[in-house]
Structure 1
Amino acid sequence: MIAIIKNIKSEGPGSIENYFIENSIPYKIFEAEEGDLPSTLEDFKGLIVMGGPMGVYEMDIYPHLKVVSRLIREAINRNLKVLGICLGAQLIAHTLGARVYKGHGEEIGWLDIELTGDGLRDPLMIALARHPSVGDVWRKFKVFHWHGDTFELPFGAIHLARSSLYENQAFRYRENVYALQFHIEVTKELLEEWFEEHTLKEQILSEAEKIISEYSQRARNFYQAFFKIKPF
């Protein structure tokens, strides 16, 4: 069983949930903002922490983030699979002792990340970077961003990807903890919901039409690699 923690109702697991359903992987979604969180991860084999508009430095305003951080620490101590996306990645960085802070600008839309040397040696990042049709590995490729915060690399973490705006876009801790600043999970439906009243709606959805099929397969390849780290 995989625990999926949503920090806000609108930021669901998207293509991750689709993958779980298609592959009969048991999971449970928790609505953290509503106080719905597991008391322990004893019965779980993995933890996925989704995004949200709040900042890690706003834990006094959003106290559920303190509980999520505690659960991340428990998951790491139990050697579970852990995946953090956007705010989830920032929470992993925070839990591992790194500074999370407001960045110098908002990074939003379909923009490139570039794998580091270690990223090019990481099997999960290679799975994400491999073009679904051609089969070659792209060092630089587009992912979906929507964030204004960033983080320092935690001690002992492996730096996997950067972008032109932010150096830390992805890292691995040990062999089973992955933090992605970008939104690997986006689907067309999620984007339509997120940008319903946003000025960039037309641009984002137009670009999505061109890239979402390829992007979804890249994400699927990442999930396949991630959930083979350790058998369930």
Structure 2
Amino acid sequence: MRGKILCIVHQKGSDPGRVGCLLMEMGYVIDVRCPCMGHRLPESMDAYDAVFVFGGPMSANDCHMGGIRAELDWIPKVLDSGKPYVGICLGAQMLARVLGGSVAEHPEGMVEIGYVDIEPTDAGRAYFDGPMTVYQWHREGFLLPESCTVLARSTVFQQQAFRYGANAYGVQFHPEVTLDMKKRWTSGAPHRLVLPGAQPAEAHIDNHPRYDPPLESWTRRFLGRLLGVPGTASTLSLAG
């Protein structure tokens, strides 16, 4: 056993998906908590090696929700600890807000729901080998402060991945989503699939065999390098 990683989810029945499975495969114990259901956040990061904050249907602007407010107030403790923080979708948007950025819907009402192409920035070439097609499910995006380094962009939501300092990362896309999760999401929220820019349910499922293996490979490499797990075979570098 390597250590313990805190995984924060936002709904009853939510789980860390593939990211959680990969972390356990690497030898970590995962502690899954849901502040939106009243779970307490730790007072310090002493017992944890890293924090992963996942997505959810709420907004990073929902400060009236006790769970979201608690997370926004707590994230600076993680940053001060120097332990790795990885925010996925809502988790990335909350990190952006904490750092002084903004979170808002697209000015033309567009969404990214389905598989979307992203392009690394010059700084992002240390993290992405080249353009990737990734899985998305969001209607809001972030506008980052100058203290953050943008690592990837897309056509609709320009800022897709970023780094803050040495150990804090945010990605707008969903590396954790498995095929079963895609089926649950598309069948459970059909009203999202008619929004401007959303892809039909069959496209989510039909494109999985083509685009998911490279995304899984990237996720494994990113986690391994982020956490310093030996034997991660990749040219991916998190230096800089």
TM-score per shorter chain, which class?
Answer: 0.7 to 0.9
Q: In structure 1, the residue corresponding to 2:139 is in which secondary structure?
A: strand
Aligned to 2:59: 55
CA distance in 2, matches of 1:70, 1:27: 22
Determine if the alignment matches structure 1 residue 178 to structure 2 residue 169.
yes
CA distance in 2, matches of 1:107, 1:182: 9
Aligned to 1:133: none
Mapping for residues 1-232 of structure 1, pairs under 5 Å = 1-42=4-45, 43-60=47-64, 62-104=65-107, 105-120=110-125, 122=126, 125=127, 129=128, 137-138=129-130, 140-197=131-188, 198=190, 200-228=200-228
Residue-by-residue CA offset, 1:25-61 (whole Å, 9 max, x unaligned): 122000222111324133222111000111111221x
CA distance in 2, matches of 1:23, 1:39: 23
Give TM-score scaled by structure 1 length.
0.87
CA distance in 2, matches of 1:10, 1:159: 32
| Structure 2: tracts of 5 or more residues without a match | 194-199, 230-240
CA distance in 1, matches of 2:6, 2:24: 14
Q: Counterpart amino acid of 2:164?
A: Y
Residue-by-residue CA offset, 1:84-106 (whole Å, 9 max, x unaligned): 00000000001111111122311
| Structure 1: tracts of 5 or more residues without a match | 130-136
CA distance in 2, matches of 1:118, 1:190: 31
Q: CA deviation at 1:11?
A: 4.2
Aligned to 1:132: none
Give TM-score scaled by structure 2 length.
0.84
CA contact (8 A) 1:93 1:153 kept: yes
CA distance in 1, matches of 2:14, 2:208: 17
CA distance in 2, matches of 1:195, 1:46: 30
Q: Counterpart amino acid of 2:169?
A: Y
CA contact (8 A) 1:187 1:216 kept: no
Q: CA deviation at 1:183?
A: 0.6
Change in 2 beyond 3 A, CA 1:8/1:194: same
CA contact (8 A) 1:113 1:169 kept: yes
Q: CA deviation at 1:214?
A: 2.6
CA distance in 2, matches of 1:41, 1:201: 41
Q: CA deviation at 1:201?
A: 2.1
